[in-house]
Amino acid sequence: MRPILFILTVLISTLVEAQTTEILDTIYANDSKNVALFFPEPIRQGITGSENFVFTYNREKEQYFGLLQAQPGKESNLLVINRNGSIFSYIVRYKAQLSKLNYFVPLSKSIGNEKPKDKDSIQSKTSEKSIDNNTYYYQKFCSYLLDRRQYLGRYIRRNDGVIMRLENIVFDKEELYFVIQIRNNSTLDYDLNFLNLSIETRQKGKKKSLQRLYQEPIFKHNLPSKIAVNETVRFIYVMPKFSLSNDRRVILELNEKDGERNIELKISHKYINNPN
């Protein structure tokens, strides 16, 4: 019986250890002090699960730290994603008296990565074939949409001669197609740094805040890296189908490389929920 008892003991110890490693650390915060979290890579996204917790970080220029504050209320959670895709998750609680104001987070605290590294070879081949078929369809349907002309009207923004317009939002199968136009009427070429599509949540409460969650396109069609003087480009972002409540909206954020001609286009939930 001793060998069996030994094996059972090892199995139980392994299970207990595995469960222990999954327990999330708790970070305490209040409304009178800033609790600083320093990460191994710059922060790309950070969001709390409840409106009585606010996590702020630099969205324009990625930095390694963010600040957490809290109002009295139930515990919640904080999710942070670094530039390299590392994911960090914590339980957050309100505490009137804080004994710790600074957290230096090592990479070992990451609970995973956005992009899994290991895949089964058979699943990988099947997935590649599916991706090829999808890519072909996206290309054909995007070309079809760019041959059409349909403007939503109000969704246009300008900055120093650069004009960004949302031409259309089209629903097909399980995807939303965002047809975007950029016109460069300035005297300088426009080098595109990035164009991000994010969902912005307007939180209510004593401390009103806005939180943005970046959405990764499934496919980008004809996205340029440079827009020459007097040139007009039209391209498409293909996104998984989604809908929004009335306290959320989509933000298209155009950012110039080594320049300041940046544009933000805010799109109401009504147009997302009622595409063409």
Residue 159 lies in a domain: yes
Please state, in angstroms and rounded to a whole number, the distance separating the CA atoms of residues 90 and 46.
11
In a domain, residue 60? The reply is yes
Number of domains, the chain: 2
pLDDT tens profile 188-216:
999 999 999 999 987 665 556 678 889 99
Query: Which range of residues forms the domain containing residue 8?
Result: 2-113
Residue percentage of the chain with pLDDT more than 90 = 51
CATH code of the domain containing 18: 2.60.40
Please report, to the nearest 10 degrees, the dihedral formed by the alpha carbons of residues 227, 148, 131, 271 taken in order. 90
Residues 140 and 109 in one domain: no
Which position has the higher pLDDT, 203 or 94?
94
pLDDT score, position 18: 42
